[in-house]
């Protein structure tokens, strides 16, 4: 079974995070959320407290993909966490999957993960994700070992891209959710 580690730090964007976790679990991926504080409930961008599964540790390196969701204040906290940055670099060096959405893509940029890759990001991020080979206007992009997505409106295509990168066909999930019928992309 494939495994996904989704990071939750104070200020994370809850709708992105929870939807990604839900969709990956629906796809059969063993998915855990990781916190950076002793308290199990992590304060989100909108002031919600949501319980994270585990404390961030070396255990994360045993996962197949590491996911950095967005959040207006979360991304700076990730940047300030030396261990997160080292872990993202390690995933990239091992050619393991690294995924970032919205301001999470800025974290991947700072970790050097986007260098030479085709990416997407939030409006105006083409001027921020400067190490990328190419910036495109698409909801989600998978290139080499990196998956990027625009923001709060794109957790579905982002999660589906992660599933595909893990070798899991998301078409049955899309069908059950009427995603294709609704012309989701």
- Per-residue pLDDT of 123-154, as tens digits, reads 999 999 999 999 999 999 999 999 999 988 89
Band of residue 178 on the pLDDT scale cut at 50, 70, 90: confident
CA distances in angstroms from 50 to 7, 124, 151, 152, listed in the order given: 12, 30, 20, 17
Q: What pLDDT score was predicted for residue 170?
A: 95
Q: What is the largest CA-CA distance in the chain?
A: 44
Q: What pLDDT score was predicted for residue 180?
A: 74
Q: What pLDDT score was predicted for residue 104?
A: 97
Which residues, listed in sequence order, are joined to residue 41 by a DSSP beta bridge? Answer: 51
Question: pTM for the whole thing?
Answer: 0.95
**Distance separating alpha carbons of residues 185 and 175, to the nearest angstrom:** 13
Mean of per-residue pLDDT scores for the chain: 95
**What would the two tokens of residue 53 be?**
């599964």
pLDDT of 6 over the 90 cut:
yes
pLDDT of 66 over the 80 cut:
yes
- Per-residue pLDDT of 149-173, as tens digits, reads 998 889 999 999 999 999 999 999 9
For 79, how many CA atoms within 13 A lie in the half-sphere containing its CB?
Answer: 16
The correct CATH number of 3-175 out of 3.40.50.620, 3.10.450.630, 3.40.50.880, 3.40.50.300 is 3.40.50.880
pLDDT of 74 over the 70 cut:
yes
Percentage of the chain lying above the pLDDT 90 cut: 90
Q: What pLDDT score was predicted for residue 185?
A: 63
Instruction: Report how many helices (DSSP H) and strands (DSSP E) the chain contains, helices first.
Output: 6, 11
Instruction: Give the contacts of 110 (CB within 8 A, at least 6 positions apart).
Output: 79, 85
């Amino acid at each position: 079974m494939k495994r996904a580690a989704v990071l939750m730090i104070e200020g994370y964007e809850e709708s992105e995070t929870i939807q990604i976790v839900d969709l990956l679990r629906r796809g059969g991926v063993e998915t855990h959320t990781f916190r950076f504080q002793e308290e199990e409930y992590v304060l989100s961008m909108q002031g919600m407290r949501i319980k994270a599964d585990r404390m961030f540790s070396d255990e994360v390196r045993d996962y197949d993909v590491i996911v950095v969701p967005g959040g207006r204040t979360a991304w700076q906290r990730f940047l300030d966490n030396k261990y997160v940055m080292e872990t993202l670099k390690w995933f990239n060096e091992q050619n393991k999957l690294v995924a970032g959405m919205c301001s999470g893509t800025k974290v991947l940029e700072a970790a050097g993960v986007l260098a030479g890759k085709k990416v997407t990001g939030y409006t105006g991020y083409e001027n921020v994700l400067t190490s990328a080979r190419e910036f495109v206007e698409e909801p989600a992009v998978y290139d080499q070992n990196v998956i990027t997505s625009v923001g709060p409106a794109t957790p579905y295509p982002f999660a589906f891209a992660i599933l595909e990168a893990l070798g899991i066909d998301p078409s049955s999930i899309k069908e059950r959710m009427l995603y294709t019928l609704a012309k989701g992309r």
